[in-house]
Amino acid sequence: MPTPLNECCACGEDFASLAAFDAHILSKPADADFDCLQEFELRRKGWVKDSRGRWTTPILAAQAERMGAGFRKAA
């Protein structure tokens, strides 16, 4: 398994991007208790794990693929 990229210290899950990590957080920064979506909630909302085992949403995965394709064309 690859080194965690955006690992949550509360739930232990790893996320494919900072945007995905931020989207799974339910708490506000000032909240005393940190709360986030758990695995069953992520799955219920349509989140999936990518080929590296990191959580993402279908929308964020599609955006990343489009960006990657643009970089590959430029290279």
Domain spans of the chain, in order of start: 18-74
Q: How many CB atoms lie within 10 A of CB 74?
A: 6
Average model confidence (pLDDT) for the chain?
Answer: 86
Question: Mind listing the pLDDT tens digit for each residue in 34-51?
Answer: 899 999 999 999 999 988
What is residue 75's predicted lDDT score, i.e. its pLDDT?
A: 58
Q: Structure pTM? A: 0.76
What is residue 56's predicted lDDT score, i.e. its pLDDT?
A: 92
Report the distance separating Cα 27 and Cα 69, nearest Å.
34
Distances (CA, A) of 20 to 26, 40, 44: 12, 16, 15
DSSP state of 49: E
3-state secondary structure of 64: helix
Q: How many residues does the chain have?
A: 75
Question: Mind listing the pLDDT tens digit for each residue in 53-68?
Answer: 999 988 888 887 888 7
More confident residue, 70 or 49: 49
